[in-house]
Amino acid sequence: MSRSIHFGVTLPQIKRTWDEARAAAIAFEAAGFDSAWVCDHLYGVPMPTLPILEGWTELAAVAAVTERIQLGSLVTPPFFRNPAVLAKQIATIDAVAGGGRVIAGLGAGWFEAEFQGYGCDFPPLGARMKALEEEIQILKALWTEERATFEGEHFRVKDAICEPKPERVPRILIGGGGEKVLMGIVARHADVWNNLAVFQAQLESKIAAVRRRCEDEGRDPATLEIAQQCVVVVAEDEAAAATSLEKAKKIYGGHMGGALEEHGIWGHPEAVIDKIGRHVELGCTSFMIEFFGRDTTAPARLFAEKVMPAFRS
């Protein structure tokens, strides 16, 4: 199954105003990006004191000021919200957006401080994985059944009604690198698997692992879309790109910064095209991009003008 290359972009959210987020969303859509994403955190990352716009609220507002671009979260964990209430929220955002534009990006969660601070449960990882799978089952039931009933270890609903339903069942994206449990959930439920930026250097082995899990579950691996979450540093020429890369390495630190230089996507447009091409050769067909820079619309515009056409027929 051949796929066109999908380019998503993250919206301004941490230490950014709604005016900045709205302007960026409109600009990204006009530039031709396929999707726009928020992180689902209640605290700024990596410091809880950083101001951050709540993700699904931001997406609801962006849905009202855009027309085409798909909208999703990277990623929503269980225990922040009752899954049935989340299903209703997503259905409502879908109604605001129109055109079936919402993607439900889901994961297990990791930033314990925000769970504790907001009084949300944060059980061990195994329990969070179980809760994630229960959450997905509830979401799909609310979006497809007249009345949904589910009794799980962590969540339950009884004769729950979700009207209006989404125009079409939202696609499910699951993000994470766990090869045993999480990838099993991916194989059973996801339309898209998103490899986290921290595992970008391991993309080839991670793709092989998720494909094996699909085969274990009796699923054709070709039916699963492969996405890479990534920082992109792009500039007009090699010297400017190298300067921006050095700044990015200081901000992202030794581990992520080094991985960005060695395995990430950076450089002048031709170099970026080459690096994206290497990811595509491994089987990646979607990119969830965080552009480096205070004003991310500038590198996004350069990317749209000089990189994206290489992957569009």
How high is the pLDDT of residue 258? 60
Distance between CA atoms of residues 195 and 175, nearest Å = 6
Question: What token pair was written down for 168?
Answer: 């079409």
Question: What token pair was written down for 285?
Answer: 């067909």
How high is the pLDDT of residue 80? 96
- 165-221 pLDDT, tens digit per residue, is 999 999 999 999 999 999 999 999 999 999 999 899 999 999 999 999 999 999 999
How high is the pLDDT of residue 213? 98
How high is the pLDDT of residue 1? 37
Amino acid code (one letter) for 113: A
- Model pTM score: 0.95
How high is the pLDDT of residue 261? 83
Following DSSP, what letter does each residue of the chain receive, concatenated? ---PPEEEEEPP-BT--HHHHHHHHHHHHHHT-SEEEE---SS-SS-TTS-B--HHHHHHHHHHH-SS-EEEES-BPTTSS-HHHHHHHHHHHHHHH-SS-EEEEE-----HHHHHHTT-----HHHHHHHHHHHHHHHHHHHH-SSEEEE-SS-EEEEE---SPPSSPPEEEEE---TTTHHHHHHHH-SEEEE-GGGGGGHHHHHHHHHHHHHHTT--GGGSEEEEEEEEEE-SSHHHHHHHHHHHHHHHHHHHHHHHHHHSEEESHHHHHHHHHHHHHHT--EEEEEE-SSSTHHHHHHHHHHTGGGG--
How high is the pLDDT of residue 253? 66
Q: Could you tell me the maximum CA-CA distance found in the chain, to the nearest angstrom?
A: 61
How high is the pLDDT of residue 103? 98
Do residues 289 and 234 make contact, with C-beta atoms less than 8 angstroms apart?
no
125-144 vs 83-97: helix crossing angle, rounded to 10: 50
Distance between CA atoms of residues 225 and 175, nearest Å = 12
Peptide bond into 75 cis (omega under 30): yes
- 99-128 pLDDT, tens digit per residue, is 999 999 999 999 999 999 999 999 999 999
Which stretches of the chain drop beneath a pLDDT of 70? 1-3, 253-258
Domains and CATH numbers, the chain: 6-311 (3.20.20.30)
234, burial (CB in 10 Å: exposed 0-12, middle 13-18, buried 19+): buried
